[in-house]
Structure 1
Amino acid sequence: MALICEPRGFAVMNYLRLLTAAFALAHAAVVPIPALAQVIKVEPMATPAQAGAIPLGTGGVADMPAESWFLLNGRATVRNVSVATLTPVLPPKGKATGAAMIVAPGGGFVMESIDAEAMKPARWLADHGIAAFVLKYRLDATPADMDAFKQAALARFAAAIAAGAKGGADIRSPAVALADAQAAMRLVRARAAEWAIDPKRVGYLGFSAGAIMGLDVVKAANPGTMPDLLAAIYPSMATTAVAGNAPPLFVAVASDDELFGQQGYGLPDSWRRARKPVELHVYEHGGHGFGFEGKPGTTSAGWTNALQGWLDAHGWLKRVLSV
């Protein structure tokens, strides 16, 4: 793993510096707090208005510190989420195709990269006529103190990196997060007429932990929650069970992914063996968390072109429902 000293120019590197420090932690007994301060830039941020956010009504999380927003290397990030919400980002009426996507950001289930892995792709989807719904899901509790949070987050990523180096890191969604993703699918379908959406064209786009959550939604195969398309961006690549009604799958990952790059290609192979449509894009460089715009100077910077082509091939960029 190359050490990243300057993230400027990267569209999304919300936790690349966390991964850098976590890599060091995975190979040492401890990384002192002063050293972390030089690697991870955290700045205070006022809680945004979150206009239009719809509570999912899935409950809270016991003993959770107050929800906290901050800038992690310049990107809006949230932690200690105890109440899940869904925020619509809708296309102009004349441009809407009738398709929809739940968008779930990553962050190791200890934080969520709302700006870079949720709002940016949501606006891109809306620009292409697809109604987007940003899912802010419930997280594992972390210490209220920021330095203690850094250590907890680093420990989480370090464990995943250590397991990934051995081909492991088969991470599962916390029960509360999975319930939130399932509730989001049900809500969009239940209110499809209100948003001029075809309830049979509701997909899911997830990054990292958000992608793992989407795969778990498919695996659970609960009534009304199965997405019609699933796009998993740098997810766990471990072999998985595939439901009989699993949707077409799109996967984008870098071969030098610090968390999942040593796992092989069990995930797309699982879809292929189940005779389900699957499309896989592996980029030579990009690391974990190359984000919506990819890592500049690498072919991962063009991954959204592949996503657009895949959506078009499935008819999601064409106006089908009268809206």
Structure 2
Amino acid sequence: MRQSSTSFSPISRRSIAAGILAVVLTAGLPGLALAQAKDAMTPIAAPPQPDAIVLDTGPLPGKTVKETWYNQYGSTFTRNVTIATLTPFLPDPARATGAAVVIAPGGGFRTLSMQNEGWDLARALSGRGVAAFVLKYRLRQTPADMPGFERAMKEMFSSIPKSAPKIAATGPAADLAPQIEDARAAFALIRKRAAGWNVDPDRIGMIGFSAGAMLTMATALQAHDAKPAFIGNIYGPLGPATVSADAPPLFVVIAADDPLFGDKSFELIDSWRAAKRPVEFHLYERGGHGFGMYKKATTSTGWYDAFVAWLDMHGMLRRRN
């Protein structure tokens, strides 16, 4: 690896904790809770990441459990991330449009769905001429051993209230401070290297899944120096938010049968519209939570094509002279 050089909508800590714990149990899974899953989490060696760039946010202080990786449902995850990295997926220079996007995988801030909600999307977008950057942001620690991790997740799942209140689009600033710092560093690095990466510094957006969607919203609404040109909230919480007059265009996807947020508030859409800012909202009948780039027999699989069409509508797939 190479070394490179926030007001939230009010919500109780218990409520946001419930949302975060619920997310980790289903992020990256095809709509199944961990307690119901039949596929085991299988530890694996860390995959090669020759292009990953270590961000300058430093290690999480006082954290002793080392980063580990595992497979589940044919997809790759990591947990106990203490040092943030950014992995570029750059398009052929002949096809590069100049647009770029930071991708924040989900996982309840305790694990990251690196393949389904990160690398697979990045490869697809780079094939359309968009430079994609997968953000492996720092996480809260979990037990080092896999059985302990599984037990901890099940215990936390069992403690979540059956009728959890609606979850705000972002979490408390103090809770997400390290992750927001990582996102800010990612934007700063891309702008610093924009010329070499064929990126237009004014056309860098961000998209996040589940907990990554919370980070995306927090980055757009609180990290004012990041200034995403556009943002995507993929099955993240959709509670109300304070939206500025210059908030970026917003693309939102959720399934009506999402067990976490599908039957909760959609007030984020109203917040964007009240601020007279562009927003596109796709509510799919079925899809559950965590469908990402999985191919499923539901119309939710079409979210990616819709997102690409939306990028095209906003001029992100066309090169600027």
- Provide the TM-score with structure 2 as the length reference: 0.85
Which residue number corresponds to residue 12 of structure 2?
none
Which residue number corresponds to residue 193 of structure 2?
191
What per-residue deviation string (whole Å, max 9, x for no partner) do you get for residues 199-227 of structure 1? Answer: 0000001111111101001121422x010
What per-residue deviation string (whole Å, max 9, x for no partner) do you get for residues 97-118 of structure 1? Answer: 0110001100111000001100
Match of 1:39, SS state, is: coil
Q: What is the deviation of 1:286?
A: 0.5
Q: What is the deviation of 1:299?
A: 1.0
Q: Is the 8 A contact 1:218 1:242 kept in 2?
A: no
- Residue identity matched to 2:301: A
- Residue identity matched to 1:196: N
Which residue number corresponds to residue 288 of structure 1?
289
- Residue identity matched to 2:219: V
Q: Is the 8 A contact 1:120 1:292 kept in 2?
A: yes
Q: What is the deviation of 1:159?
A: 5.6
Write out aligned runs for 1:148-297 (5 A).
Answer: 148-157=148-157, 162=161, 165-170=163-168, 172=171, 174-223=176-225, 225-293=226-294, 296-297=296-297
What is the alpha-carbon distance in structure 2 between the residues aligned to residue 261 and residue 56 of structure 1?
34
What per-residue deviation string (whole Å, max 9, x for no partner) do you get for residues 8-56 of structure 1? Answer: xxxx9733476252xxxxxxxxxxxxxx7x7341112111121111111
What is the alpha-carbon distance in structure 2 between the residues aligned to residue 71 and residue 17 of structure 1?
17
What is the alpha-carbon distance in structure 2 between the residues aligned to residue 297 and residue 211 of structure 1?
24
What is the alpha-carbon distance in structure 2 between the residues aligned to residue 152 and residue 176 of structure 1?
23
Which residue number corresponds to residue 306 of structure 1?
306
Match of 1:174, SS state, is: helix
Unaligned runs of 5+ in 1: 1-11, 22-35
Which residue number corresponds to residue 19 of structure 1?
33
1:55 and 2:57 matched:
no
- Residue identity matched to 2:54: P
What is the alpha-carbon distance in structure 1 between the residues aligned to residue 318 and residue 113 of structure 2?
30
What is the alpha-carbon distance in structure 2 between the residues aligned to residue 188 and residue 153 of structure 1?
35
1:121 and 2:121 matched:
yes
What per-residue deviation string (whole Å, max 9, x for no partner) do you get for residues 100-148 of structure 1? Answer: 0001100111000001100000001100000000100000000101111
Q: Is the 8 A contact 2:239 2:265 kept in 1?
A: yes
- Residue identity matched to 2:41: V
Match of 2:216, SS state, is: helix
Q: What is the deviation of 1:186?
A: 1.4
- Residue identity matched to 1:302: G
Match of 1:83, SS state, is: coil
- Tell me the percent identity: 44
Q: What is the deviation of 1:151?
A: 2.5
| Aligned CA distance change for structure 1 residues 17 and 262 (closer, same or farther; 3 Å) | closer
| Aligned CA distance change for structure 1 residues 94 and 117 (closer, same or farther; 3 Å) | same
| Aligned CA distance change for structure 1 residues 167 and 262 (closer, same or farther; 3 Å) | farther
Q: What is the deviation of 1:158?
A: 5.3
- Residue identity matched to 2:210: S
Match of 1:203, SS state, is: strand
- Residue identity matched to 2:107: G
Count, aligned residues = 291
What is the alpha-carbon distance in structure 2 between the residues aligned to residue 240 and residue 159 of structure 1?
27
Which residue number corresponds to residue 7 of structure 2?
none
| Aligned CA distance change for structure 1 residues 158 and 241 (closer, same or farther; 3 Å) | farther
What per-residue deviation string (whole Å, max 9, x for no partner) do you get for residues 230-268 of structure 1? Answer: 011001111112133210000010011111112121111
Unaligned runs of 5+ in 2: 1-25
What is the alpha-carbon distance in structure 2 between the residues aligned to residue 158 and residue 239 of structure 1?
27
What is the alpha-carbon distance in structure 2 between the residues aligned to residue 13 and residue 180 of structure 1?
20
| Aligned CA distance change for structure 1 residues 156 and 98 (closer, same or farther; 3 Å) | farther
Q: What is the deviation of 1:297?
A: 1.9
Match of 1:149, SS state, is: helix
Which residue number corresponds to residue 31 of structure 1?
none
Q: Is the 8 A contact 2:27 2:113 kept in 1?
A: no
Q: What is the deviation of 1:304?
A: 1.2
| Aligned CA distance change for structure 1 residues 15 and 299 (closer, same or farther; 3 Å) | closer
Which residue number corresponds to residue 10 of structure 2?
none
- Residue identity matched to 1:254: A
